[in-house]
């Protein structure tokens, strides 16, 4: 259905996300990387090498290291500095830190080899003049984490960051939004089409049953991950 229930008014403050990282309640982090990215990586890369790939709301996603090791250049953004520092520590990656002149209080943490650059700031403070444009995006846990009232703003920003002929792998989640307040928020396919439809071609690649004990504790009886490829 297209009804997102009472979720449309739900707002999660930045402090709440910071607190999740501080307290280690990061159930959304996947230690071994995401099986859907591994399975559909070729669809994202489309036979190309040396791409610039963006990870919105990246946390400490292990796939950033994986893609950088394949010769791609990775850029991420995350509000929690703790998450970013854990990423570098867990992969034993030397990095340097510098301020981002255009954004008050923001930092850029970059590997000394320069292939991974992670911005510690609010994603809405970024623009293509700061981070450039991207050939690929891995959006898992980003669109589903932004407040429903900010979705249009988020998508408008993402569209400005896409190169011509770029690919965007998007993972959303599907469950009964009347039984769980989110995040992750339920984003119906109709909304993906209304948000992105005028800018790219949208194809649903796979729906995966991801139901677990955690979702049962949330009061849900089903939980799906839905993977789309958006071609710009």
Q: What are the pLDDT digits (tens) for 62-89?
A: 999 999 999 999 999 999 999 999 999 9
In the block, tokens 């690649």 appear at 205
pTM score: 0.97
In the block, tokens 């709301």 appear at 57
Q: What DSSP element (H or E) covers 88?
A: helix 81-90
**pLDDT tens-digit profile of 23-75?**
999 999 999 999 999 999 999 999 999 999 999 999 999 999 999 999 999 99
Q: Which long-range contacts (CB under 8 A, 24 or more apart) does 84-92 make?
A: 84/58, 84/60, 84/109, 84/118, 84/120, 85/109, 86/60, 87/58, 87/59, 87/60, 87/61, 87/118, 90/60, 90/62, 91/62, 91/65
Domains and CATH numbers, the chain: 14-21+32-231 (3.40.50.150)
Phi, psi of 71 (to 5 degrees): 100, 10
């Amino acid at each position: 259905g297209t009804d997102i229930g009472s979720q449309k008014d739900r707002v999660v403050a930045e402090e709440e996300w910071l607190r999740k990282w501080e307290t280690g309640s990061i159930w959304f982090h996947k230690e071994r990387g995401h099986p859907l990215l591994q399975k559909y990586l070729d669809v994202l890369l489309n036979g190309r090498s040396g791409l610039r790939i963006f990870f919105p709301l990246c946390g400490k996603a292990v796939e950033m290291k994986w893609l950088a090791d394949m010769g791609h250049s990775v850029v991420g953004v995350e509000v929690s500095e703790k998450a970013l520092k854990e990423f570098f520590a867990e992969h034993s990656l030397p990095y340097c830190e510098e301020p981002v002149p255009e954004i008050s209080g923001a930092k850029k943490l970059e590997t000394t080899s320069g292939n991974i650059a992670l911005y510690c700031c609010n994603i809405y403070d970024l623009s293509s003049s700061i981070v450039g444009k991207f050939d690929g995006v891995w959006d898992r846990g980003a669109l589903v984490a932004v407040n429903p009232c900010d979705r249009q703003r988020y998508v408008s920003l993402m569209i400005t960051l896409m190169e011509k002929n770029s690919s965007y792998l998007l993972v959303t989640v599907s469950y009964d939004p009347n039984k769980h307040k989110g995040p992750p928020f339920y984003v119906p396919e109709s909304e993906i089409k209304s948000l992105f439809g005028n800018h790219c071609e949208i194809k649903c690649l796979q729906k995966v049953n991801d139901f677990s004990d955690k979702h049962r504790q949330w009061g849900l009886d089903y939980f799906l991950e839905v993977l789309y490829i958006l071609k710009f």
